Amino acid sequence: MNMQTHPQKALLAAPPNPAPAASQTMIEVARKHGVSPVRQMREMWTLKRGPGKLEGHEYHATGVYVPDMAMDDKKTYVGRIGSYNINVRLSPPKLTETRAFLRDKVMYTALLTQLSLPTTTTQAVVSARRVFGAIPALRNPDAVAQFLQNEAVYPIFAKPCEGAGSVGSALITGLDRGAGLLHLGNGRDVGLDSFAHEIFHDYPEGFILQSAIRQHPDMAAMTGDAVGTLRIVTLRDAHGVSMLYTVWKVPSPKAMSDNFWQAGSMVAEVDDTGRVVRCNKGSGLSAEWIDMHPVSQRPFAGFQIPHWDQVQHVAQQAHMMFPEFGIVGWDMAVGPQGPVIVECNDNPFHTLYQLATGRGILNTDFTPKLDAAAAESQAILRGKVAIFQAREKAKKRKA
């Protein structure tokens, strides 16, 4: 997918909705891989009805059309719906009633700060109604402009209070006060007043202005200054919390954030020791395994994620704050002093793992771990139901 830009807008627009499997794509797959359109259609039908719920465009994006992949292996891949089904099975809605809180970027980061877990620093929140204690609440576009001109400490990462995929985000590296222009991380300049009005028009539910994270120098030497977060997925079973997988979202050299749907972005597999295994760029027919970063020319394989032990510890500690969740995804940056939690995802999108590794998430290594987490969630839920029923019986006896 390509990043959508608008000359008059500063915030990153959402990618277009994926189109159904196009006939031209099917023809190209047939030419390049020798898989006939009829076989592709048959496989798409089978995989859409299977546990992974792959849609036609996801069949092509994940690359499962290759002829040397067994159907049993293709069935281990999940699409958007299949990914959601995994997450709901492990974190049942009846058990995880705090989802809205986890998605609230202001309140969740405030909790992490209070409990001394490393996270981002909120400078101000744009909101017409809400109050955030000591954090400044900017009530109108004029207040936003005044804050950015007189109080903000740059660089700033700006994003909606709710949402995902970096949609609506912008990295603001500085301000030309004389010209009234904000400098963006992608090299563009935008008017201060127009930016302030854009926030209120496009995101009336709230917008957060955070201090931008400075990336660890080892990672910056590899990928540049744009922060590439680790997507860490943790599981909770009867024995506690453990790491399921980690991938490194490597931003495009021209991007302001690290989401894979932006043109030129990459995603790298990270093993259990914190070392990069390999890196993928693109998806579907445009996917390619790359050995070197396209700008720094440094090799990906063998790169050691800094502060790896601390990264694992922070992810596990943060998950155990909400042990009712069987699965949680973390976007975690690594700064000079250690890991920084950027966001908590109650519905992590497992396609990133599949693109980074060339394996389906429902593989034979992961399935027993997913089953164990799901079983523990059901046990916790049964325990809560039993406690509720016992209390109700006690109330009736007293009555």
- CA distance readout (Å), 229 to 56, 191, 268, 350: 29, 29, 11, 15
- CA distance readout (Å), 26 to 65, 70, 282, 286, 309: 10, 19, 18, 14, 45
Binned at pLDDT 50, 70 and 90, residue 337 comes out as very high
Give residue 186's pLDDT: 80
- Residue 295, pLDDT > 50, answer yes
Total Cβ atoms within 10 A of residue 170: 25
The average pLDDT across 361-385 equals 97
C-alpha 8/C-alpha 201 separation (Å) is: 13
Instruction: Dump pLDDT digits (tens) for 28-82.
Output: 999 999 999 999 999 999 999 999 999 999 999 999 999 999 999 999 999 999 9
Quote the tokens at residue 35. 């898989």
Please say whether the beta carbons of 331 and 342 come within 8 A: yes
- Residue 331, pLDDT > 70, answer yes
Give residue 188's pLDDT: 86
Instruction: Dump pLDDT digits (tens) for 17-28.
Output: 665 657 889 999
Give residue 220's pLDDT: 93
- Residue 345, pLDDT > 60, answer yes
Quote the tokens at residue 319. 């998950």
Give residue 139's pLDDT: 94
Domain-wise residue ranges, the chain: 23-77, 89-104+216-374, 121-211
Rg (CA), the chain: 22
- Residue 170, pLDDT > 90, answer no
Binned at pLDDT 50, 70 and 90, residue 7 comes out as very low
pTM: 0.90
Report the SS3 class of residue 373: helix
Instruction: Dump pLDDT digits (tens) for 224-234.
Output: 888 999 999 99
| CATH among 3.30.470.20, 3.40.640.10, 3.10.450.630, 1.20.1250.20 for 89-104+216-374 | 3.30.470.20
**Sign of the CA dihedral with 209 first, then 214, 219, and 224 last:** positive
- Residue 248, pLDDT > 70, answer yes
Instruction: Dump pLDDT digits (tens) for 83-141.
Output: 999 999 999 999 999 999 999 999 999 999 999 999 999 999 999 899 999 999 999 99
